[in-house]
Amino acid sequence: MERVVTIHLDKNHALILGAGYSAKHFIPALIAQGFSVTATTRTPANFATLSALGAKPIIYDGAPSQTLLDALALATHILSSVPPNSKGDPFIQSLKTQNLTQIAPHTRWVGYLSATSVYGDRKGQWVFEDELLYPQTQRGKNRTQAELDWLETGLPVHIFRLAGIYGPNRTPFKRLKSGSARAVIKDGHIVNRIHVDDIAQALWLSVKHPKPLQIYNLSDDRPAPPQAVLEFAADLIGAERPKKVAHDHAELSDMARSFYTETKRVSNQRAKDHLGWKPLYPNYKLGLMAALKAELGLVQGVLLSGYIDVPTVHLKSVLLGLPTHIRLSNQEKDCVYFHIRQDPDRPTRFHISEAFKDITGFTRHQARMKNSEWAQITKTVKRTYQTLGF
């Protein structure tokens, strides 16, 4: 008997192919806007997580089941984050000679999550979406072919080239706490990053303002050396800064070493201009603070991070008053943590990281500080802070 699929054209149906870290973060936005969401996974172990997000999970193990074909027949929106292989996109390959525009006739928007590795090495220069691609790593070559596979489907495809993805539970905090993190130093090496929430925001803006066959770089505003990110993360949680290892002497896997063969600065201007996208976390400092806040479950919490620069003439008095200031701050009932450490390479700079349960607790701390001994000791210092949640 022929299988009949009921099509509800008055409702948006999203199909997520390969519901990994980034794609899963997009599901709540779709659910909030009234979409029904179907998401594929390779194992039933992920069903509970996807169901909790509001999606209907189905298995996709490399062959398009009838359930998946039914989901394609319903889909008005498709997002794919299926990793490519050496031949390109495995999902499109699995359809063989089938025409995707016929299998998914109601699709109005398609997003494919690619990577900035398609650009290859640009010696630290800025890269833009319309440049010719020169992928050097196998990962970059695979991504380039997968992009072409999707663009040739005839569907309204949008390509999103993602920088290094981070966010809650995808941070260096655990490695820093365990002492296993290392800062591999290679002169001039720059890395681009994007917080997972900023990916989800850009995807939703594209759904609202579709521009088929358009390509967008998704990266924050501040490319930075990887060791700078690790050192900031260590200061943020009060962990020891990671040991520095020269790239030429570092013991790295082939995969890890390949990340140091290319360096570039990724422009995100097109996404800003076309979509009205503005990163929630325009730099890695705010992004890591947000990730830590989420990992600690501080929904109403306030985080502050930054540094003070102390005039040399007052350095001794600051060092003498510092232990009492740290102790009193950590004793406040709403204080989650309070760290201050002297920069090992710049003794007149002190890195500060603090977290409070809510705005009330943070405000109370600020009020206590105004008339404290520490305020008198540090009245000549220069303060540079960023706050989150205040």
Which pLDDT does position 2 carry in this prediction? 36
Which pLDDT does position 10 carry in this prediction? 66
Query: Higher model confidence: residue 112 or residue 98?
Result: 112
Which pLDDT does position 158 carry in this prediction? 98
pLDDT confidence bin for 367, thresholds 50/70/90: very high
Mean pLDDT over the full length of the chain: 94
Helix (H) or strand (E) holding 141: helix 138-151
> Could you read off the pLDDT of 159-205 as tens digits, one per residue?
999 999 999 999 999 999 999 999 999 999 999 999 999 999 999 99
Which pLDDT does position 253 carry in this prediction? 80
Which pLDDT does position 320 carry in this prediction? 97
> Could you read off the pLDDT of 296-326 as tens digits, one per residue?
999 999 999 999 999 999 999 999 999 999 9
Q: Tell me the CA distances in angstroms from 313 to 109, 376, 381, one per residue in order.
A: 62, 15, 11
Which pLDDT does position 252 carry in this prediction? 78
Q: What residues are paired with 216 via a beta bridge? A: 160
Contact in structure between 121 and 136 (CB atoms under 8 Å): yes
Nearest one of 109, 77, 333, 305 to 212, comparing CA atoms: 109
Which pLDDT does position 7 carry in this prediction? 46
Residue type, 66: Q
Residue type, 297: G
Q: What does the DSSP assignment read for 203-251?
A: HHHHHHS--TT-EEEE--S--B-HHHHHHHHHHHHTPPPPEEEEGGG--
Residue type, 352: I
Which pLDDT does position 248 carry in this prediction? 82
Which pLDDT does position 11 carry in this prediction? 87
Instruction: State the SS3 of 63-79.
Output: CCCHHHHHHHHHCCEEE
Residues of the chain with pLDDT > 90, as a percent, come to 89
Nearest one of 144, 138, 107 to 17, comparing CA atoms: 107
pLDDT confidence bin for 366, thresholds 50/70/90: very high
What domains can be seen in the chain, in order of their start residue?
13-166+194-221+262-282 (3.40.50.720), 296-388 (3.30.70.100)
Strands 335-342 and 349-356: antiparallel
**Tokens found for residue 186:** 């290679």
How confident is the model over 33-48, as a mean pLDDT? 95
CA distance 374 to 371: 8
CA angle 277–282–284, rounded 5-degree value: 145
With a cut of 90, say whether residue 5 has pLDDT above it. Answer: no
Which pLDDT does position 124 carry in this prediction? 94
Which pLDDT does position 9 carry in this prediction? 53
- pTM, 2 dp: 0.94
With a cut of 60, say whether residue 242 has pLDDT above it. Answer: yes
pLDDT confidence bin for 1, thresholds 50/70/90: very low
Nearest one of 316, 184, 329, 312 to 257, comparing CA atoms: 184
